[in-house]
Structure formats: structure tokens, C-alpha cells
Structure 1
Amino acid sequence: MTAVDTPAGLFGPLFAAVQECGLFPDSKTFADARPRRAPAAILADWQAEQPEGGEGLRRFVLANFDLPQDWADPPLDQRPLAAHIEALWPLLTRAASEPAPGSSELWLPHAYVVPGGRFRELYYWDSYFTMLGLARSGQQQLVENMIANFGSLLDRIGHIPNGTRSYYVSRSHPPFFHLMAALSRDVSAEGRRQRLGWMVREHEYWMDGAVGLAPGAAVRRVVRLADGALLNRYWDDSDRPRDESWREDVALAAEAEAREAGTLWRDLRAAAESGWDFSSRWLADGQSLGSIRTTRLVPVDLNALLFGLEQAIAAEAEGLGDRAMAADYAARAEARARAIADHLWHEGGGHYADFDLDKDASSDRLTAAAAFPLFAGLASGERAARSAAALRRLLRRGGLMTTLCDSGQQWDAPNGWAPLQWIAITGLRRYGETQLADAIADRWIAMVEAHYAATGQLLEKYDVVACSAGSGGEYGTETGFGWTNGVTLELLAIRDRKAGRSGGDDA
């Protein structure tokens, strides 16, 4: 992994002072601020001046940094939802530019689409769902640009970070790159070989440490179970407070006195790598964030995605004539499929689930992640049918809830998220469970359309019980919003096609 300086490292005591005193309501604000001059000079001046009190610190920061601007929704209009989403793409698109010296921004060679709200940079797993909508909107060049941006990150950093900020480089995100690559229309041998190389690079990142790993051992993102099965977990290469949530992480460590701070912070960071930050899924007691234990769980969604990556590498290698690579990765995918079947299925609940390393058993907690093996095509017909019955327990008026637990965390009940609707709908349709798939899609569309008609907004997350804005977690519900736009646009197109209206091909 390429080492990079984060704001906490560059500004040390100044960064800590700003975050710990709560100078800005959102800890991410200062992490994203752009220094107006060399960081070392700013830090030296702060240490020399030692401005007193919050107001003195504020004046110093405003004199030496440009603060970031959040997304602002366009005025309410009367356009149909699909037309509104297509009009949002240019507003959410950012041109390639050179980051300011000392900024947390990472350079990208091409234009890209941000999610919206406080999320001012390119995010990894968000972007796949955004790209579905871009492709549907005829924005193919932007799709190709974003694939190339992620490839550039793989070339320069060795993996795709959570997002394009220096403070995200110590972790990745759910590995959707192989699905992004499949959206490319560049069928040249050169383009295919380049994308294959990027997929292999990503696989190497996730499997780092696997060679020689003993049964029962784990290193970084790799776990070998007692029977020799090789699977993966979420991780972060840092055990420090997150730059973007510094104040919250330091406060949590002070509250959770029984936890070693570094272990707690790594588990928080690993949950951020999962994209589910945060959820009862990761909490030992299902409620308290201080009980988080992400690194002690083998996630079903991550391993389903890595199965898909291994299959994609095998297929593309075969297509390019590299039979040895194709056979190697096909064998890896087959071994992972067996391990998922053996260890990531909860027989009593009739659903796929995470494996608990400490209990040496699958978790009994039902979450929307149970749909990922269907999405990846891993399930038997019998298990797919039982999974559908289990997932129906998550269905509410506005779509699929994330879990059955209302913990106050955002990746829990009553919230529903666009990417999880898409994974479930696509996976259920793959196995002929169209009634449930259509129910999820119809309820989601109806909720999003109604909220858009009332407010002119598309949201990061929704309360699918009340059919209103979602809540919980470290920050408010954001608007924009990349993955909601992409998934909803695709679902609208599929609905229109089924109704006989012009909407393009089904996804």
C-alpha cells in the first residue's frame, strides 16, 4: 500500500485541536479543507501564535484554509423523476483537477460523479450504482472515465480506496470494480487486457497474506478457517481515529473503557470499509457502538463479491487466451463457493449470514446482505427460495429494510438503501423470485417518487417504514444522491419496459 499523508498527520496538534473542540459541526469539514499555503508553515505559525479559545482558533483556521462547500439541491421543478435525475448528472460531475498542496484530495485523471451532500469526492462502491444510471442516461464516456479513474488508483495505490481522500487510503470498499468493468463498451483487446490487469491487482490486494496462512489464522483481510477454507473479512491498515470522524472516535474510546483504543478504532474503520458504517450487524450487543467487532466477522457480501471477481477474472482470461490464469481463478471461485455454502449459511434462519470467528458459527442475524449470494449466483435453488422467504421479513411499505434491529445506527431498521434494493431485486430475479423482486422495486419507486414530488430531492437513505427521510448515525441524511439516482433510474426503465413504454433494455 502506498503511504500518504493525511490531514491528521500533516497538521498534528492543530488538527486535533480543531476536531476535539468541535470547531465545525461535521468533523469531515476540516479534514476536507484546502490549505492556502504549505502545511509546515501553517503548523509552525499556529504553534508560535497559540491562538486562545475557540474564536481564536476559528480565526486562524479561516485565515489559513479554504473550507469545502456542500452540495446544494437545485430549485424544485415539475419534471418527471427520470428527467430530473438526468438533469442532476452534470451538477454532480466534477472535472479532473490538480489538488491543492497539502489537501486531502487524491488526483484523478478524468471527470467523475460525486454522491452529493458532504460527499464531495469519488466513492468506490457508491459509484457502481451511480454508473448504472449514467449508462442508462447515455453518459457512456463518463462511465469509461470512471472505470479509468479507478484503474488509475489501482495502478498508483495498489487498491481502490474507500474514497478519493488521503484519509481513506488505508482501506478499500466492497469490491465492485469487476461489475464496473463489465459496463465498459471498449471491446478492444488492449482495453480488455487493461481491465483484466486491474481486476487481478484488486484481487491481490484482498488476498494479501493468504499464502502460507495457517488454519484458524487471520491476517489483514484474509481468514483461513479451521477446515482450511479461505475467506475474507473487512479491515483497515490503520488503528488511529478516523480523520473524518476524529472527535467521535476519540469520544467513543473514552466511553468504551473496557476496549483497547486501537482495536476499537480498527473495528470502526473496518466497518467503514464495509460501507455499512454503522450497523448492529457489527455490534456484539446489537446496540452499543463501543461493542463493535467488525474484524471478527467474515462477511457474506464481501465474499460473494470476491467470488464474482474471481469468476470475472477467469472468464476474461479465457476470452483473451490465457487458459492457465482462467483455470487458476475458476478454481479459486469454486473453492470460495464451497466455503460460502459451508460456513456462511444459517440453517435455522434459512438465510445467508456472516460467520462469527469467535463463536465458530454463522450469525443468526438476518440482514439485507443475505441477498448477495443470490446476486452473485452462488445459491442453490432450494437456498434461494428459503432466502427469498427470509428476505420478505425485511420488506416494508417503502422497500427492503437493512436489518430487523432499530439500533439508532443508519445501516439498521427502519432505513433502506438504494444499493441493497438493487442487489436484492437483481438476485431474486436471477432465481425466478419475481413476485418479491417486483414488490421491492414497486415500493421503492413509489416512495422515491412521492418524496421527490413533495420536496424535489433524492436522498442518500430512506425510512422505508414511514416512507420519509432516513435517520441515524454520525451525520444527517444527505441529498443528491448518486446511488439513489442510478438505481431508481434503472428501476424506472425496467418498469417502463414491462409496461410497454420506451425505457431501453432491462438491466
Structure 2
Amino acid sequence: MQLKINRDQILNDLLAQQSTQGTRTITIDDTGNKQFTVFGENGESFEVKGTYYLANLLQEVWLGNGELDTEKVLMKPLERVDYLMKNHYWNVLSRRMNADNVLANLFDEKRSSEKSYLYVPAADVDGLAYYHRITAQYDNIEIIELPAPPYSADLLKEIDEKAGLLALKYDKETDQPLPYVVPGGRFNEMYGWDSYFIGLGLMAHDQYELARGMLENIAYQIKYYGKMLNANRSYYLTRSQPPFYTPYLAAFYRQYADRLPENWLAEHLAIAIQEYEQVWQNPNTHYFADIGLNHYFDEGVGRPKETEEGHFRVILQQFADKHGMNWQDFEREYDSGSLKEPELDRYFEHDRAMRESGHDTTTRLDDVCADTACVDLNAILYRVEADIAQLLLEYYPQGFEFAGQTYSYDRFFEYAEKRYLAMQQYLWNEADGTFYDYNHLTKKQNAFVSASNLFPLWAKACSPTQAKRAVASQLPQLLRVGGIASTAPISGSLNVERQWDYPYGWAPHQILIWEGLQHFGFADEMYQAAFAWVQTIVRATVEYNGLIPEKFNVEQSSHKTNVEYGNVGAVFDYVPAGGFGWTNASLILGIAKLTQAQKDELNTLADSTV
């Protein structure tokens, strides 16, 4: 039924009666009578009961323009979240750095200043001309031409003093920059490994232009900035993130090959090889050549400046005490270079590497990350090598010419085989039946139970026997009522809960582990793990006005956290502001993993709020 309504009046009445917490949302925490009658302007009426359906009503009235489709209010939860993502959330999270949006895109709450800086690669002549053109009307925007990498320490220092946004790909044919999707909440830029998981969600919804824009923008970063960036802000020029560009490329091309230009794959395959060789095979930064395995590393030095004020207070105070200073004065002197503390330099080397890992922060990588051959990174790189090998075999069986060399299936198959053997030698623990991180400095494994220990199943970097043993060894310690935790419970007293430690669960871990379980035939375990996570999200959407945040406490199956950085996406008015990118994707992909009986059970959650 379609109703013409007085939008403002209904919003006011609905909130006054049902949003008793004053949050401009309707949740199970509100104490209204949980029923409301909508009167149409032509005399019709529509009765709504229960928290979930009232929240749907609030959303539809807010999104509408004096029209109400009652069928959308009555949608069951799985249909509802899918509808909102396709028609609202992806749009809200999308960005395009054109004339209409450039100021909004430049905004950065982490490093605000009176003047906004936009960095554009000097080699991108067309992009440079475009960005000069669209910013000419703004006195408070300065465009800075960025030379090709590598960047000197002096240049990085200059850039740090003028923190700004890094331009992404401009398409001359359409005279528009390509679109991209941000994670959500305070994150107003495109992030590295987030983009792969977001891309999987976009492809599941056949959002071709957005999914392609994301991939093209990652390729642009590798081409002009030297790597897939942590995010396209100037203070991230020194580090990458888990290298999912090639898995993204392989998945995207297989789904959309018939819609792409003839030489598209060749262009992107060359960029994939460039990233592999220049970033991940670089022994000065990311590669332990003596053991044939990789580690995370950030080429910057000192305190990472994108963190919130006071984030390093505890560690800084320890060094400040030596100098009889408070931590703020010490921080200022240390950042300027007036005070030298090699031990603190080393601490930040590990901290920066941990941030490149995407797991910022976790006890697993404290003070060891730059020295550690991580299971997650090497599993991903095995998948990169295998994906490139397969693309070469399928599309360039006679060899692929790039930068004066010929690349073949055999070459990348050999790279993958060498890594497989190195992972067996250094990362596999026969006694415990699992993979563990390996410390290159101490020559020992770190026997730490982590979701990352199961990444080799997703990458197909283990034998069926090892997969069986790893699932038996790790999954029971990680799987909780709300999904897979980042780590097993950690003993000891911590000053602050780390967001990538137990009891918190994150979308990328769920997605990769589901795929690994499915590949090796662990169907029951996959159904159980996917249902636990999807149920947590669906319950949050049903009970909290459509809420989809960045992470969950999987021990309590709750979005409510007491952890560093809070929980992005948990606070909003009326309608979630796009949800959260990779959590959205995990919900779409997770629902596809469930049985029909599991889906039916999740839909009954709506009735529990009536």
C-alpha cells in the first residue's frame, strides 16, 4: 500500500512516542509502547507494532518524500538489509572526487587544518589538469605535485607538515574521477584491504561500476604511489596493507571479463606483477630473503601521526620519566628530533608494521611485527602468486611481456611452490597441528592462537591433512556464539582492550575462514561459523534500528564495546549512514553461505521484538 503522508509530522510524533532515549532511533532500549498508527492524507491508516517494524517505519519516513510504501516497512530482516544495501548503503558510502564533492572528500578529522592539501602525482598530467581546474575556485585548497616514489625522508617530513588527501584515478573519457567506497563513519578515504572485502560485496550485488572503480583506484595507487596504500592520505605513503589487489583482480575479471576492454587484463596484470616484485619482494622492506617469507613493514620512522591524541600516552610516559618530563612535552621533543630514543624508534617500527598488517592493534604483533613472518601475510602472498600463475596460464599461455621480461605460469607457479615449502618449514607446527607466526630474529614460532592461523585454508596453501588438523586445533578456541574471534582469550591484565584481540570479531576474518572451510569440505563448521556471525549482525539490525558497525564482541554477540577506537558505525540518526563497508559485505556473503532453515530462523528475529 502506498500512502501520502505528512512526513515531518509523523517523524515528530514517532520519535516523541517511541524514541525515549532521545537518539533519533528506535531500539530495544527505548521504553515506548512499541506501537504506532500512521494516518495517510487520504484517510487511510497503517498500524505498526514492535521495535523492528517501528524502526523500519522511521527509516522509510525519513528516506521518503511524503510517500510511504508499507511493504518496505514489513520486509523481513534478510530482505530488508539486502534492499537497504543495494538502494541506500553503497550510495552513502560512495565517493567521487569531483567539483561538487572535493571539499567534503578532503575533510579529515584526524589531521584538520585551515588549509586543505590535495596531492596529485606529477606524472598524471591529465589528472593534474583536472584537479587544478575543479579547485581553482577555492582559496583554501592547495594542490601539491607529488614526484614518483621512492620518497626521501626530507620530502616525507614536508608532506607530514601538510597532511592531505592523495588523488585517485581521473577518467579523461568521462571527465570524472572514478568512484570508490569508504569504510564508513569517520573514515572518509579509501582503505587498502577493506576495499577487497567491500569489492566482494559490491560484486555480489552486481555493482559493476563501483567495484571496477575500486579496483582501478588501487591500480592507480600502485602505479603512481608505489603500493596499494593503507589509505589515500599523505601520511599513509610509507605503508601498504595486506595485499589483496591480485585476488580482487582475479575475482573481478572472472565475473566481468565480457564487459571489459580488450587490453584491460594486460594493463592490470602488469600492475599486479609490479606490486609483487617492487613491494613484496623487496629485501630492504618486506622480504626475508634467507627464509623466503615476507613481513610487514612501514618505511616511515617515529610516531605515526594519524593516531588519536594521547594514543601512545602510556609508552611515551615511560620514556618521558627518564627525562623528567610530562608525556606531551616529551612527544613534542621526540617528534621534532630534539630527543633521540633508539628503543622508542624500534617500538614505533613494530607499531607501524602492525598498522600495515591491518590488525591495529593486537597483542599478537606487539613489539615483534617488523621481525615476524606472519601466517596471514604469507598465505595472502601464496594466493597472489597462485592467482597470477593461473591468470597467465589461462590468458597468456605463451608468456606475458612486461618491463623487458617474460612472465610465465611456470615462473609464478615456482614462486608459489617455494613459499609453500617455506611455510611448511617455518610456519607449520606439527605438534600443535597449526600454522604460527615465525620471528625471524629469535628464530622461533609465536604459539599464539589467532584467526590468522587459518588463512592458509583460504589461500589453499596447506594440505587437506593440515587443514583438518588446523581446524581441529584452532577453530574451537576461536568460534563463539557471535562469530569467530580475532584471537583466543588472552591471559593477563591489559591496560586497554585491543580491538583485534579476543573477544572482538571482524568481517575479513569471517569471510576468509568461511571460504577456507568450504574449500576443504568442512561444511558443518562453515554453516555454524557463518550463522553465528550473520545472526549477530541481523540481531543488531533488528534490535538497534538497522545498526551495522565495524566490529562485534563475539563472546556476547553484541555491538557494544569497551575498546580502543570505539566502534565506528554504531552511532547514527534515523538510518545507518551506510552501515560499515566490509561488515555489509560479510552479511551479504554470509547469508549466501546459509541453509534455508538458517535463513528462516533469522527472519523470525523480527517477531521477537513485537
Look up the match of 1:229: 291
User: Separation in 1 of the partners of 2:272 and 2:562?
Assistant: 35
Tell me the matched-pair count.
Answer: 410
- 1:293 Cα deviation from its structure 2 partner: 2.0
Listed as ranges, the matches of 1:398-417 within 5 Å are: 398-406=482-490, 407=494, 408-417=497-506
Look up the match of 1:264: 347
* CA-to-aligned-CA distance 1:348-399 (integer Å, 9 cap, x gap): 3221111122331222111000111000001111110011112222110011
- 1:317 Cα deviation from its structure 2 partner: 2.5
- Aligned in 2, Cα 1:313/1:457: closer, same or farther, shift over 3 Å? same
Do 1:394 and 1:402's aligned partners in 2 also have CA atoms closer than 8 Å?
yes
Look up the match of 1:36: none
> Aligned pair 1:106/2:155, yes or no?
no
- Aligned in 2, Cα 1:481/1:137: closer, same or farther, shift over 3 Å? same
> Aligned pair 1:297/2:381, yes or no?
no
Look up the match of 1:490: 589
Look up the match of 1:195: 268
Secondary structure in structure 2 of the residue aligned to 1:171: coil
Look up the match of 2:317: 255
Do 2:163 and 2:235's aligned partners in 1 also have CA atoms closer than 8 Å?
no
- The more displaced of 354-363 and 125-134 is 354-363
User: Separation in 2 of the partners of 1:103 and 1:238?
Assistant: 14
Look up the match of 1:239: 301
Amino acid at match of 1:360: K
Amino acid at match of 2:531: D
Secondary structure in structure 1 of the residue aligned to 2:594: helix
> Aligned pair 1:315/2:390, yes or no?
yes
Q: 1:281 aligned to 333, 353, 364, which one?
A: 364
Q: 1:445 aligned to 514, 534, 546, which one?
A: 534
- The more displaced of 367-376 and 326-335 is 326-335
- The more displaced of 360-369 and 472-481 is 472-481
Amino acid at match of 1:448: I
- Higher fraction of strand: 2
Amino acid at match of 2:288: V
User: Separation in 1 of the partners of 2:274 and 2:590?
Assistant: 32
User: Separation in 2 of the partners of 1:466 and 1:165?
Assistant: 35
Listed as ranges, the matches of 1:124-273 within 5 Å are: 124-182=192-250, 183-184=252-253, 185-186=256-257, 188-210=261-283, 219-224=284-289, 228-245=290-307, 247-248=309-310, 251-257=313-319, 260-273=343-356
Do 2:531 and 2:598's aligned partners in 1 also have CA atoms closer than 8 Å?
no
User: Separation in 1 of the partners of 2:438 and 2:553?
Assistant: 28
Do 1:82 and 1:492's aligned partners in 2 also have CA atoms closer than 8 Å?
no
- Aligned in 2, Cα 1:190/1:496: closer, same or farther, shift over 3 Å? farther
Amino acid at match of 2:208: Q
* CA-to-aligned-CA distance 1:270-291 (integer Å, 9 cap, x gap): 11100000111113xxxxxxxx
User: Separation in 2 of the partners of 1:486 and 1:403?
Assistant: 22
Look up the match of 2:568: 478
- The more displaced of 310-319 and 109-118 is 310-319
Do 1:253 and 1:259's aligned partners in 2 also have CA atoms closer than 8 Å?
no
- 1:256 Cα deviation from its structure 2 partner: 4.2
- 1:337 Cα deviation from its structure 2 partner: 0.7
> Aligned pair 1:396/2:467, yes or no?
no
User: Separation in 2 of the partners of 1:478 and 1:256?
Assistant: 30
- 1:249 Cα deviation from its structure 2 partner: 5.4
- Aligned in 2, Cα 1:316/1:498: closer, same or farther, shift over 3 Å? farther
User: Separation in 1 of the partners of 2:280 and 2:209?
Assistant: 32
- 1:473 Cα deviation from its structure 2 partner: 4.7
Q: Percent identity?
A: 29
- Aligned in 2, Cα 1:313/1:468: closer, same or farther, shift over 3 Å? same
> Aligned pair 1:431/2:532, yes or no?
no
User: Separation in 1 of the partners of 2:560 and 2:531?
Assistant: 19
Listed as ranges, the matches of 1:459-478 within 5 Å are: 459-469=549-559, 471=561, 473-478=563-568
User: Separation in 2 of the partners of 1:119 and 1:133?
Assistant: 18
Secondary structure in structure 2 of the residue aligned to 1:244: coil
Q: Where in structure 1 are there 5+ consecutive unaligned residues?
A: 1-73, 211-218, 284-291, 502-507
Amino acid at match of 1:245: T
Amino acid at match of 2:201: G
The TM-score, its normalising length taken from structure 1, stands at 0.76
Do 1:236 and 1:270's aligned partners in 2 also have CA atoms closer than 8 Å?
yes
- 1:341 Cα deviation from its structure 2 partner: 1.2
> Aligned pair 1:376/2:459, yes or no?
yes
User: Separation in 2 of the partners of 1:112 and 1:370?
Assistant: 31
Secondary structure in structure 1 of the residue aligned to 2:293: strand
Do 1:416 and 1:463's aligned partners in 2 also have CA atoms closer than 8 Å?
yes
- Aligned in 2, Cα 1:253/1:440: closer, same or farther, shift over 3 Å? same
* CA-to-aligned-CA distance 1:244-268 (integer Å, 9 cap, x gap): 1163455344234397121111211
Do 1:92 and 1:114's aligned partners in 2 also have CA atoms closer than 8 Å?
yes
User: Separation in 2 of the partners of 1:490 and 1:344?
Assistant: 29
- 1:496 Cα deviation from its structure 2 partner: 6.5
User: Separation in 1 of the partners of 2:445 and 2:276?
Assistant: 25
- Aligned in 2, Cα 1:246/1:486: closer, same or farther, shift over 3 Å? closer
* CA-to-aligned-CA distance 1:16-40 (integer Å, 9 cap, x gap): xxxxxxxxxxxxxxxxxxxxxxxxx
Do 2:193 and 2:242's aligned partners in 1 also have CA atoms closer than 8 Å?
yes
Do 1:113 and 1:122's aligned partners in 2 also have CA atoms closer than 8 Å?
yes
Do 2:527 and 2:595's aligned partners in 1 also have CA atoms closer than 8 Å?
no
User: Separation in 2 of the partners of 1:365 and 1:419?
Assistant: 19
> Aligned pair 1:96/2:97, yes or no?
yes
Larger Rg over CA atoms: 2
Secondary structure in structure 1 of the residue aligned to 2:288: strand
